[in-house]
Structure 1
Amino acid sequence: MVSRVSVPRIVVTGSGSLARSVCYSLATELTTPATVSILARAGGKAAELAFVASVRARVSERAVVFYGRGVDFADLDGVLGELAPDLVVHCVSHQSPWERGTAPSAWTELLRMTGFGLTLPLQAELLIDVAESLRRVAPDCLLINACFPDAVNPVAHALGFPVFCGIGNISTISAAIAATLDWKDHRSLHLLAHHLHLHAPADTADEARVWCENVERDDVRALLAGMRSTARAELNQIGGHAAARLIDSLLTGGTTDTHVPSPLGLPGGYPVRIRDRSIELRLPKGIDAEAAIAWNQRMALLDGVVVDGGQVRFAPSVGEHVPEFAEPFPVTEIRYACARLLALRERLREVAP
């Protein structure tokens, strides 16, 4: 339970679709008073989000107050030291998941051919900025990551930054399945699922896995049809809402059986039990942690990147199109890889798909 301050202090980084969903749901779902500071590169957007969320909290009669401010993510020590957060929800990266639909180019075509995993360095760098700053000024703060957590959190853990868990992805998938099945007992629902499974994999053998009362189902593709036919931006409304419920449990010290991406820095998504500030796997009968991790690593490769043993290894398709990433590299070079990808993206954005 968070007890260091009388009113818990939450920081949300970013002002995009998922950050908005998290904040709007915090405004209506938090059962304890709290302050929420929204930090974004665009101060105006942060202020706008804070205003709407504050009004939603007032209408919902929740004692949650929101503030917005613009920040430089390369220089966070001052603002995070001032705010002294108990919990940070990180929702900002260098790469938007919507670019393929809003601004198609040779860059988005490259991502289509290689898999979303190629964006790992672009997703990871700003999280590392936040984690490094928290280590210096708020070392007891819980850090939750929304940016490709299935692969980014393992990078952070390998670098010595213990991100608590992710949000989105399997959280959204499990919520959609529970709603489709009208399944109310979350303790008896178990999924293994990766970011990859937001879309249907090419081979049905690579589908997400679902157990109800320890019986594995064979109709997962049908169960996820409604979710997969929904626009990704709309799905953020589910992921953000699930995140707010998770945060409320963390702040109040409740016990929650749920699903999250990358708990404990593991690759992919798992069923978990969260109690106070601890998190543990709660796998279905017959599946141990080693088997669950191995399965998620296989899905990670299909998504374009595997993080294992402090090494980043892109799928062979990445090496075919971007030869400099054909060989694995240590997580300590993630900033260098990010700079190389930003330069490549700048060039390819000028070329039609």
Structure 2
Amino acid sequence: MNHRILFVGLGNLGSLMLDLFLRIPGKHQFLVGGRQPDRLQPRVNLSLLSALQLGYTPEVGCRFLDLNNIEQVAETIAQFQPTIVVCAATRQRLGGAQHLPQSLAAQLARAPMGPRLPLHLSLVYKLMQAVKLSETKPLVLNAIYPDVIHPILQKVGLAPTTGVGDLANNVPAIKLALASYVNQPLEQVDVRLIMARAVSYRMSRASIKGLPFHITLLGNGEDITPQVDVDQVFKALLTTFRRTGGDTGLLMTAASAMAVFNGMVKDTHEILHAPGPCGLPGGYPVAVHAQGIDIALPRQIHMHKALLINQSGLRLDGIEGIEEDGTVVFTDEAMTLYRDMLGYECNRMPLSETEEWATELQERYLTLASLSQ
């Protein structure tokens, strides 16, 4: 089946994702939307021409698209009739604190991500409202803070199909480390990981001993976890298989997105890992196919336990809970940090106030950045 893919958000991450997606075999039709088509077109051309250089022949176009205009986006979706929508749109790119004083930027980098939620939720929420208004039913891949955003939007029936990245970014290194530990070929080992973003982010940077997660390690399809020193396997992520972070490191998230996208367009039913699948908090093993995503938990763990693990992980990111109407409650500890650093305090955020809080938080950043110049 040839797919029609609407792509929204061509920043650092989105550009890498588009580069890879255009190299999936097939006569797929891509439409990339953004508010500045004149600036968008040259970057889209780069992705297209590099794909052609490698022998792929996708069809790619650009169109004006403003996520702040939900009706206009809905009309575009209704006209284009995408089978898959890909979102990498956010109001704060990775490294968005780079213009702040160095000490403050360093503090923010170590702080829980949860209080910055409005900046990431705002555009995804608008996109999903537009998808609903268009009366189409595409699969939606979202690369922006999915393990928190998706369970919020699930409360109002607007959750994307799945997220990409996060825990999935650590799986290749774990598999390499496991293969080395048990002295088996890479193809004979596998991993089943349950973990929220706050834990997976730390995993490639420091020890996660004592933090909430579950891992099942497989050798030739059998559970070999009791025979493995898991701490030693994890240690390899900080040493032998340590990888570059920052903007360059976004390649891992783009590769994760490509794997999920490939599973959908080729209907592979492959077991991968994804954050926020089916509107759930945190990250899980999933089976990917043409109709979307199925949760693929290891036999040793039930969904109730997996949810408890990931809800605990969300609290580490500053998310105390998500109420039935989508209102987010932030932890006191996380919000105290942001009050002290930015003068910003939002203890509870109803979904309807997302834009208001995003604007205030953005203004706090801009004010502090101007003072540092």
- Cα 1:203–1:50 change in 2 (3 A) is closer
Q: Is the 8 A contact 1:145 1:165 kept in 2?
A: yes
Q: 2 CA distance for matches of 1:145 and 1:306?
A: 23
Q: Which residue of 1 aligns with 2:251?
A: 237
* Cα distance change of structure 1 residues 65 and 271 upon mapping to structure 2, 3 Å threshold: same
- Is the 2:243–2:249 Cα contact (8 Å) retained in structure 1? no
Which of the residues 87, 91, 101 maps onto 1:90?
A: 87
| 2:183 corresponding residue in structure 1 | none
Which residue of 2 is the match for residue 73 of structure 1?
A: 67
Superposed displacement of residue 280, structure 1? 2.0
Number of the residue aligned with 1:336: 356
**Separation of aligned partners in 1, 2:173 and 2:195:** 13
- Corresponding residue number in structure 2 for 1:43: 37
Q: Does 1:11 align with 2:11?
A: no
Contact in 1 for aligned 2:194/2:306 (Cα 8 Å): yes
Instruction: Rate the CA distance shift 1:145–1:279 in 2: closer, same or farther, 3 A.
Output: same
**What one-letter code is carried by the residue in structure 2 that aligns with 1:169?**
D
Which whole-Å CA distance do the structure 1 matches of 2:153 and 2:197 have between them?
17
C-alpha spacing 1:278/1:12, structure 2 compared with 1 (3 Å):
closer
Residue 158 of structure 1 and its aligned partner are, at CA, apart by: 1.6
The 8 Å contact of residues 319 and 331 in structure 2, kept in 1 or not, is answered as: yes
Contact 2:344 2:361 in 1 (8 A): no
Q: Which segments of 5 or more consecutive residues in structure 1 lack a partner in the other structure?
A: none
Matched residue type, 2:99:
A
In the alignment, the residues of structure 1 paired with residue 188 and residue 161 of structure 2 have an alpha-carbon distance, to the nearest angstrom, of 24
Aligned residues: 345
Q: Given the superposition, is the C-alpha separation of residues 114 and 243 from structure 1 closer, same or farther in structure 2, using an over 3 Å criterion?
A: closer
User: In the alignment, is the contact (CA less than 8 A) between 1:57 and 1:65 conserved in 2?
Assistant: no
SS in structure 2 at match of 1:48: helix
The alignment-based identity, stated in percent, is: 19
Indicate the residue corresponding to 2:210 in structure 1.
205
Distance (Å, rounded) in 1 between the aligned partners of 2:43 and 2:118:
27
**Distance (whole Å) between structure 1 residues aligned to residue 116 and residue 79 of structure 2:** 32
The separation in 1 between residues aligned to 2:104 and 2:126, in whole angstroms, is: 25
Residue equivalent to 2:133: 136
User: Residues 306, 215 of structure 1: CA spacing in aligned structure 2 closer, same or farther, 3 A cutoff?
Assistant: farther
Q: Aligned residue for 1:192?
A: 194
Partner residue, 1:315? 331
Give secondary structure in 1 for the equivalent of 2:187. Answer: coil
Cα drift, residue 132 of structure 1: 0.9
- Post-superposition CA distance 1:127-154 (Å, at most 9, x none): 1111111112252111111011111111
Among residues 103, 111, 128, which one is paired with 2:99 in the alignment?
103
Partner of 2:182: none
Q: Which shows bigger deviation, 245-254 or 196-205?
A: 196-205
SS at match of 1:12: strand
Per the normalisation by structure 2, the TM-score is 0.83
Q: What is the RMSD computed on CA atoms of the aligned residues?
A: 2.6
Which structure's CA Rg is the greater one? 2
How far residue 161 of structure 1 moved from its aligned partner, in angstroms, is 0.4
Amino acid at match of 1:223: A
1:229 CA displacement: 4.5
**Partner-residue secondary structure (3-state), 1:349:** helix
Equivalent in the alignment of 1:225:
238
**TM-aligned CA deviation for residue 63 of structure 1:** 3.1
Alignment deviations for residues 235-267 of structure 1 (CA, whole Å, 9 cap, x no partner): 221221221232122123221110001111111
| Matches for 1:244-323 after TM superposition, within 5 Å | 244-309=258-323, 310-320=326-336, 321-322=338-339
Q: What TM-score comes out, normalization by structure 1 length? A: 0.87
Would you say the 8 A contact 1:267–1:300 is kept in 2? yes
CA change 1:235–1:162 in 2 (3 A) is same
Following TM superposition, by how much is the alpha carbon of 1:113 offset from its aligned partner in structure 2, in angstroms? 6.0
Deviation at 1:89, TM superposition (A): 0.9
- Is the CA contact 1:22–1:243 (under 8 Å) kept in the aligned structure 2? yes
* Distance in 2 separating the partners of 1:205 and 1:123: 28
Residues 84 and 203 (structure 1 numbering): CA distance in 2 closer, same or farther, change over 3 Å? closer
**Mapped contact 1:150–1:166 kept (Cα < 8 A):** yes
Q: 1:315 and 1:140, CA in 2 relative to 1: closer, same or farther beyond 3 A?
A: same
Cα distance change, pair 326–10 in 1 and its aligned pair in 2 (3 A): closer
Superposition deviation, residue 180 in structure 1 = 4.1
| Letter aligned with residue 314 of structure 1 | F
